[in-house]
């Protein structure tokens, strides 16, 4: 029995394994991976692609496939097949590998589309991956999704010379890319988009799709195009389109901040539609008079809903910020620093713009350190005493991620600065350039910690007293806050409730023992759960007693007194008879 108990206690630690992968054995090792396992790849060339089909970790035990600390694990393209193929998989991290498409007409990483069975690919981490030679034509993509995908993090990746850097979602809008985090990547010299995230029709009815409201976050990336010809038409550096018109996802938000976007000779740097928060980006060099640094308009049948554009720096764009249609909900343009002959414009009357600082491209040298379209030399950090004004009103933005941090991730203080930097003099942060951005708002640890209930520990909770107030707070770590708490099994004692903030409270009205399961859900729909017991006792007694049994203190004491007096009289009479 003791041995079985010891094995049970050790089993979580024994479950996770690290498997060694080489070009000769990695496919066998891949098939053996279980939740919590890591496939540690040796340096070398992997000629038979990376295929993940029907492979699943779970929220508390991701599967990790990782390249070596030194050297490179390179997966080569194979004609007619995507180099990294994802189908029907979840909770998988792919880290520190190189994907070389060899100039073939194959994608780098692709979540494959439907066949006879609807597939989904969700809760994925793609980190530190380099995608090379995916530029056969504009339709060849570095990272591509063609099935319903949600809760992806794409972090610290480089995609160089692709046809399109990332193409997320399908052209019809029926296989959406939902609530991803795209951060700290570098996409350089694509033929078409650096990134396009497609419009979304009503989300498909597939198991596990997120509910409620959420965001797709695009932050701290470097998106640089060149004068490379676009064989299938010119494209902006970044294009995001609208969410569903109703139902799940219709109130989602694109949050685009802390990015450097540069050099688009024939299109806009950002084109966007739907529900948008665009702040603290640096945008330079969009000279075509038909487009803009930030160009907001209806797209693919989706109308403009909500737009907030604040604290961006825009330089050398024929149009700085352009909003074509009147948003149906609300909009604002404030606190931006724009150097353009046509700084801020709209296709409607009554544009809500306040406290922006605008001037010509030629005069930018009077405000910032080194305004230029040459990426290796540009520096838009304000000169001492420049680029300030009245404090901005930030009320509309307080729900946005990192609305209070500038391009460097520095606090905006009293919100008096214009543009992407909240400071002047010498830039204390990352030097702009054609490389991975270092730091910035929201730059955080890798990999993301799994969601977990931190306290209290599973099992018995401290006893509650009958008819007395009781309170216990549940806390969680990891995942993506905010958290929502619920009872998903059993039931709490009568008189107690668990509120969505994780506080179990109330006054128990029935003595006894209750068992129940508590589940926490984060904003990306990840969950964790624990099972608890809670005993409601009557004060003065060691365990639960029925409420109306007559045994509780203050209850039935009259009958115990009568019983005691009767017993005394009985023994007294016996003593008199015997005496």
Read off the tokens for 409: 């991730």
Average pLDDT over every residue of 389-409: 97
Sign of CA dihedral 547, 552, 558, 559: positive
pLDDT tier, 4 (very low <50, low <70, confident <90, very high otherwise): very low
pLDDT at 575: 40
Structure-model confidence comparison of residues 7 and 168, the more confident one = 168
pLDDT at 113: 83
Average pLDDT over residues 504-525: 91
Q: Looking at residue 15, what is its pLDDT?
A: 59
Cβ(142)–Cβ(223) under 8 Å?
A: no
- Amino acid 563: pLDDT: 43
For residue 576, pLDDT over 60 is answered with no
- Are 524 and 565 members of one domain? no
Nearest to 94, CA basis, from 59, 133, 53, 127: 127
Domain co-membership, 490 together with 566:
no
Residue 472's CATH number: 2.60.40.10
* pLDDT value at 81 more than 70: yes
Q: Mean pLDDT for the chain? A: 90
Predicted pLDDT of residue 449: 60
Question: Please, how many CA atoms are within 13 Å of residue 412, restricted to the half-sphere of its CB?
Answer: 28
Choosing from 362, 395, 423, the residue where a domain stops is 362
212 closest CA partner among 247, 241, 182: 247
Q: How confident is the model at residue 175 (pLDDT cuts 50, 70, 90)?
A: very high
DSSP 3-state percent helix, strand, coil across the chain (nearest 5): 10, 35, 55
Q: Domain end: 342, 362, 382, which one? A: 362
- Residue 136 resides in a domain: yes
Within a domain: 462 = yes
Same domain, 308 and 224: yes
Tell me the pLDDT band of 447, cut-offs 50, 70 and 90: very low
Domain-embedded: residue 71 = no
Query: Of 189, 236, 575, 257, which is closest to residue 397 (Cα–Cα)?
Result: 257
Cβ neighbours around 430 below 10 Å, total: 19
Structural domain count of the chain: 3
Is 114 exposed, middle or buried, given 0-12, 13-18 or 19+ CB atoms closer than 10 A? middle
**Preceding amide of 456 cis, omega within 30:** yes
- Average the pLDDT over 293-314 and give the result: 97
Give the global pTM. 0.76
Query: How many whole angstroms separate alpha carbon 384 and alpha carbon 366?
Result: 10
Of the pLDDT bands very low, low, confident and very high (cuts 50, 70, 90), residue 352 is: very high
DSSP string, 278-299: EES-EEEEE--TTS-SEEE--B
Specify if 356 maps to a domain: yes
State how far the Cα of 294 lies from the Cα of 268, in Å rounded to an integer: 7
Residues of the chain above pLDDT 70, percent: 89
- 247 lies in the same domain as 336: yes
Q: Which of 79-93, 105-119, 371-385, 525-539 has the lowest mean pLDDT?
A: 105-119
Indicate whether 442 belongs to any domain: no
Q: Does pLDDT of 12 surpass 50? A: no
Do 532 and 558 fall within a single domain? Answer: no
Burial degree of 472 (CB within 10 A; 0-12, 13-18, 19+)? middle
The confidence score (pLDDT) of residue 551 equals 38
Alpha carbons 397 and 221: distance in angstroms, whole number: 21
Residue 272 in any domain: the answer is yes
Residue 434: inside a domain, yes or no? no
Q: Which of 27-41, 177-191, 509-523 has the lowest mean pLDDT?
A: 509-523
Instruction: Mean pLDDT check: name the lowest of 177-191, 224-238, 267-281, 551-565.
Output: 551-565
The confidence score (pLDDT) of residue 525 equals 78
Confidence at 72, pLDDT banded by 50, 70, 90: very high
Q: What is the pLDDT of residues 117-127, one digit of tens each?
A: 778 999 999 99
Q: What is the sign, positive or negative, of the torsion defined by CA atoms of 333, 335, 337, 342?
A: positive
* Contact between 311 and 332 (Cβ < 8 Å): no
Domain with 458, as residue range(s), is: 452-547
Cα separation, 287 vs 340, in Å, equals: 10
Residue that is written with structure tokens 């403009």 in the block: 304
Does residue 253 sit in the same domain as residue 137? yes
DSSP string, 218-262: EES-EEE--S---TT----SEEE----SSSTTTT-EEEEES-EEE
Stretch 510-536: mean pLDDT, rounded? 91
The answer on 562 and 507 residing in a single domain is no
Q: How much is the average pLDDT of 304-333?
A: 97
Q: From residue 445, how far is each of 184, 242, 448, 478, 522 by CA, in Å?
A: 12, 30, 6, 11, 18
* pLDDT given for residue 526 in this prediction: 84
**Position 210 in a domain:** yes
Would residue 335 be called left, alpha or beta, if left means φ above 0 and alpha means ψ between -120 and 50 degrees? left
Evaluate if residue 224 carries a pLDDT over 60. yes
For residue range 463-501, list pLDDT tens digits in order.
999 999 999 999 988 776 778 999 999 999 999 999 999
pLDDT of 115 strictly over 80: no
Residue after which a domain boundary falls, among 305, 331, 362: 362
**C-alpha dihedral, 162 to 167 to 170 to 174, nearest 10°:** 170
* DSSP structure string for 161-220: S-SEEEEES-TTSSS-EES-EEES-EEE--SS-SEEE----SPP--TT---S--EEEEES
At 268, the pLDDT band (50, 70, 90 cuts) reads very high
Q: Please determine, for residue 579, whether its predicted confidence score (pLDDT) is greater than 70.
A: no
Write the pLDDT tens digit of every residue in 133-145. 999 999 999 999 9
**Do 346 and 489 fall within a single domain?**
no
Let me know whether 167 and 184 are in one domain.
yes
Residue 541: predicted pLDDT: 67
pLDDT exceeds 70 at position 76: yes
Evaluate if residue 552 carries a pLDDT over 50: no
Same domain, yes or no: 206 and 294? yes
Contact in structure between 225 and 195 (CB atoms under 8 Å): no
The predicted model gives 37-54 an average pLDDT of: 96
Please check whether residues 315 and 463 belong to one and the same domain. Answer: no
> What percent of the chain clears pLDDT 90, i.e. is strictly above it?
83
- Specify whether 565 is located in the same domain as 489: no
Residue 167 sits in a domain whose CATH number is 2.160.20.10
Strand 496-498, strand 503-506: pairing: antiparallel
Average pLDDT over residues 15-20: 87
């Amino acid at each position: 029995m003791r041995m079985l108990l010891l094995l049970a206690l050790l089993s979580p630690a024994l479950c996770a394994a690290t498997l060694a992968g080489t070009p000769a054995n990695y496919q066998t090792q891949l098939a053996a991976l279980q939740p919590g396992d890591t496939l540690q790849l040796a340096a070398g060339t992997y000629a038979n692609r990376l295929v993940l089909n029907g492979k699943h970790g779970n929220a508390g035990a991701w599967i990790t496939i990782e390249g070596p600390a030194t050297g490179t694990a390179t997966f080569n393209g194979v004609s007619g097949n995507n180099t990294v193929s994802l189908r029907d998989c979840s909770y998988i991290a792919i880290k520190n590998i190189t994907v070389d498409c060899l100039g073939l007409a194959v994608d780098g990483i692709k979540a494959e589309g439907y066949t006879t069975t609807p597939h989904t690919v969700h809760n994925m981490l793609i980190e530190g991956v380099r995608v090379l030679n995916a530029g056969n034509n504009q339709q060849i993509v570095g990272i591509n999704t063609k099935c319903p995908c949600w809760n992806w993090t794409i972090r610290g990746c480089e995609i160089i010379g692709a046809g399109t850097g990332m193409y997320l979602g399908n052209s019809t809008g029926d296989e959406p890319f939902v609530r991803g985090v795209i951060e700290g990547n570098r996409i350089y010299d694509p033929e078409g988009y650096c990134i396009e995230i497609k419009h979304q029709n009503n989300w498909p009815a597939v198991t596990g799709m997120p509910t409620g409201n959420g965001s797709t976050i695009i932050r701290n990336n470097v998106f640089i195009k060149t004068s490379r010809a676009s064989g299938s038409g010119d494209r902006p550096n970044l294009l995001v389109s609208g969410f569903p018109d109703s139902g799940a996802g219709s109130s989602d938000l694109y949050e685009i901040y802390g990015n450097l976007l540069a050099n688009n000779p024939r299109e806009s740097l950002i084109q966007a539609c739907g529900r948008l928060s665009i702040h603290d980006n640096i945008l330079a060099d969009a000279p075509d008079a038909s487009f803009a640094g930030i160009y907001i308009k209806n797209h693919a049948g989706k109308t403009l809903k909500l737009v907030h554009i604040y604290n961006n720096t825009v330089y050398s764009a024929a149009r700085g910020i352009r909003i074509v249609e009147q948003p149906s909900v609300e909009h604002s343009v404030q606190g931006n620093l724009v150097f353009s002959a046509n700084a801020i414009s709209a296709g409607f009357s009554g544009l809500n713009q306040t406290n922006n600082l605008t001037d010509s491209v030629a005069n930018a040298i009077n405000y910032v350190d080194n305004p230029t379209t040459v990426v290796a030399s540009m520096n838009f950090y304000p000169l001492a005493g420049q680029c300030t004004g009245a404090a901005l009103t930030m009320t509309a933005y307080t729900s946005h991620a990192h609305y209070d941090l500038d391009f460097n991730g520095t606090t905006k203080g009293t919100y008096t600065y214009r543009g992407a930097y909240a400071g002047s003099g010498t830039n204390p942060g990352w030097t702009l350039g054609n490389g991975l951005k270092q730091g910035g708002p929201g730059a955080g640890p890798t990999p993301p910690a799994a969601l977990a209930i931190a306290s209290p520990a599973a099992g018995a909770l401290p006893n509650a007293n009958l008819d007395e107030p009781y309170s216990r707070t549940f806390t969680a770590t990891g995942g993506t806050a905010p958290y929502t708490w619920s009872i998903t099994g059993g039931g709490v004692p009568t008189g107690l409730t668990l509120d969505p903030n994780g506080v179990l409270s109330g006054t128990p009205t029935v003595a006894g023992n209750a068992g129940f399961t508590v589940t926490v859900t984060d904003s990306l729909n990840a969950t964790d759960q624990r099972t608890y017991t809670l005993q409601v006792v009557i004060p003065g007694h060691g365990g639960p007693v029925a409420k109306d049994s007559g045994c509780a203190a203050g209850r039935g004491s009259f009958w115990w007194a009568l019983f005691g007096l009767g017993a005394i009289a009985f023994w007294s009479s016996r003593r008199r008879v015997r005496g």
